[in-house]
Amino acid sequence: MNADQLKKIAAEKAVEWIEDGMTVGLGTGSTAYWAIHRIAERVREGLSIRAVASSIRSEQLARELGIPFVSLNEIDRIDLTIDGADEVDDNLHLIKGGGGALLREKVLAAASDRFIVIVDESKLVGTLGAFPLPVEIVPFAERLTLNRLKELGGDPAIRTNPDGQRYVTDNGNWIADCRFGAIPDPAGLNEQLNQIPAVVENGLFVGMASVVVASLSDGSIEVRRRG
């Protein structure tokens, strides 16, 4: 099975957790794309929910597919958020942000009673770090910020678009993709990164995932739960 088929299988399994009356957070990226499509199908079948999204493009897709939306400023909690991940370690810590929406994704995850992560088997790792860690930074003092990231052991590179221009997040910031190598202590690195003044947020999601739904190469599903 190809990668898209595996992502679709995991996404459709995760959507089974959604129930009538829920406020649902929608993630960003290629795996969340499939979840949004399946949620839209369930809405057409009669599911009554309201949604919030972690990116402009996810909201646009969901609205086009007929998913009802509500402003984040109108709610106090999110019942359930479904999103993908770039890596998941044995303790269900994550690296996210490959799609560029890590700040908003973390806001939704932190506000959710349950955070369900959907991945294919290739994203399951023993220790985080093979995937470059995205760090969202303000454009002000770029050089000073990159130097601080280097001091922590990262090898940062400002993300660019295919046309060579700087990638700009929905929040108007830049992303430094940092190669730290193996990250045996995600909680410690998360704390160090967030002490850098120009760092807005980083892609380490430590202790946030409630459930990880992974599609395996043979098309079966593995469900991992925290605790």
Topology of domain 133-197 in CATH is: Alpha-Beta Plaits (3.30.70)
CA distances from 168 to 17, 136, 150, 175 (A): 33, 10, 21, 8
Strand partners, 128: 183
Residue written as token pair 């086009």:
64
pLDDT > 70: percent of the chain: 100
C-alpha distance from residue 44 to each of 37, 47, 69, 102 (Å): 11, 7, 15, 29
Residue 3: the pLDDT is: 87
pLDDT one-digit tens code per residue, 162-218:
999 999 999 999 999 999 999 999 999 999 999 999 999 999 999 999 999 999 999
Which residue in the list 87, 105, 136, 201 is annotated as catalytic? 105
Query: Any idea where the domains of the chain sit in the sequence?
Result: 3-124+206-225, 133-197
User: Given this chain, do its domains 3-124+206-225 and 133-197 carry the same CATH topology?
Assistant: no
This prediction's pTM: 0.95
pLDDT of residue 72: 92
Select from 86, 100, 94, 75 the least CA-distant residue to 24.
75
Q: Write down the pLDDT at residue 1.
A: 80
Collect the ranges in the chain with pLDDT lower than 70: none
Domain at 3-124+206-225: CATH architecture: 3-Layer(aba) Sandwich (3.40)
Is position 105 annotated as part of the catalytic site? yes
Amino acid in the structure at residue 26: L
